[in-house]
Amino acid sequence: MTQTTPLQTLRGHVGRVWSVAWSPTGTMLSSCGEDKNIRLWGKESFGTKFTAKAILSDCHQRTIRETAWSPCGNFIASASFDATTAIWDKRAGQFECNATLEGHENEVKSVTWSKSGQFLATCSRDKSVWVWEVGEEDEYECGAVINAHIQDVKKVRFHPHDNILASASYDDTVKLFKEDASEADWVNCATLKSHTSTVWSLAFDRTGTRLATCSDDQTVKIWKEYRPGNSAGIPTPDGDSVWKCVCTLSGHHGRTIYDISWCHSTDLIATGCGDDAIRIFKESTDHSSGDEVSFDLVHTVHGAHAQDVNCIAWNPMVPGMLASCSDDGEIKLWQFKLDTL
Amino acid sequence: MNPSGDALENINPTLYGKCEERLVTREEEDDDIADEFDSREIFDLIRNIYDPEHPLTLEELHVVDVSLINVDNTKNEIKVNFTPTIPHCSMATLIGLSIRVRLIRALPARFKVNVEITPGSHSTEFAINKQLADKERVAAALENSTLIGVINQCISRPVTAA
B86-97 pLDDT, tens digit each: 999 899 999 999
Q: Is the pLDDT of residue A326 over 60?
A: yes
Q: How far is B62 from chain A (nearest CA, A)?
A: 29
**Stretch A44-48: mean pLDDT, rounded?**
79
Contacts of A16 in chain B (CB under 8 A): 139
Contact criterion met (CB below 8 Å) for A307 and A34: no
B1 confidence band (pLDDT: 50, 70, 90): very low
Helix (H) or strand (E) holding A78: strand A75-80
CB contact under 8 A, A109 and B136: yes
Chain A neighbors of B130, CB-CB under 8 A: 170, 197-198, 216
- Mind telling me how many Å the CA of B132 is from chain A's nearest CA? 13
Q: Which of residues 250-269 of A touch B (CB under 8 A)?
A: 255-256
- The span from the CA of A210 to the CA of A198, in Å, is 20
Chain A residues touching B79 at Cβ < 8 A: none
* Residue from A11, A6, A7 nearest A330 by CA: A11
Name chain B contacts of A62, Cβ cutoff 8 Å: 143
Q: Could you tell me the end-to-end alpha-carbon distance of chain B, in angstroms, rounded to an integer? A: 8
Chain A contact set for B143 (CB, 8 A): 62-63, 81
Rg over alpha carbons for chain A, rounded to the nearest Å, is 19
**In this predicted model, what pLDDT tens digit does every residue of A196-249 receive, in sequence order?**
999 999 999 999 999 999 999 999 999 999 999 999 999 998 889 999 999 999
Which residues in chain B have Cβ-Cβ distances shorter than 8 Å to A105? none
Phi and psi for B131 in degrees, rounded to 5? -65, -40
Count of residues making up chain A: 341
A216, B135: Cβ pair inside 8 Å?
Answer: no
**A241 SS3 class:** coil
The residue among B53 and A277 whose pLDDT is bigger is A277
- Residue A155 · residue A168 · CB < 8 Å: yes
Q: How far apart are CA A9 and CA A19, in angstroms?
A: 15
Banded model confidence at residue B161, pLDDT cuts 50, 70, 90: very low
- A158 pLDDT band (50/70/90 cuts)? very high
Burial of A338 (0-12, 13-18, 19+ CB in 10 A): middle
> At residue B2, does pLDDT exceed 60?
no
Contact A65 B136 (CB under 8 A): yes
Q: A340: pLDDT confidence band, cut at 50, 70 and 90?
A: low
- Alpha-carbon distance of B37 to B60, in angstroms, equals 23
Q: Please indicate if any CB of chain B lies within 8 Å of the CB of A53.
A: no
Q: pLDDT above 90 covers what percent of chain B?
A: 69
In angstroms, rounded to a whole number, what is the distance separating the alpha carbons of residues A232 and A291? 8
Distance from CA of B110 to the nearest CA of A (A): 6
Distance from CA of B56 to the nearest CA of A (A): 34
Shortest Cα–Cα distance, B15 to chain A (Å): 37
% pLDDT > 90, chain A = 88
Between chains, do A255 and B137 touch, taking CB under 8 Å as contact?
Answer: no
Torsion angle (degrees, nearest 10) of CA A166, A71, A80, A50: 120
| Higher per-residue confidence, B4 vs A45 | A45
Residue in B110, B130, B139 nearest the CB of A306: B110
What residues of A are in contact with residue B134 (Cβ under 8 Å)? Answer: 152, 170, 198, 216
Helices B92-106 and B125-133 sit at what angle, rounded to 10 degrees? 30
Handedness of CA A93, A18, A20, A150 (dihedral sign): negative
Contact B112 A255 (CB under 8 A): yes
ipTM: 0.94
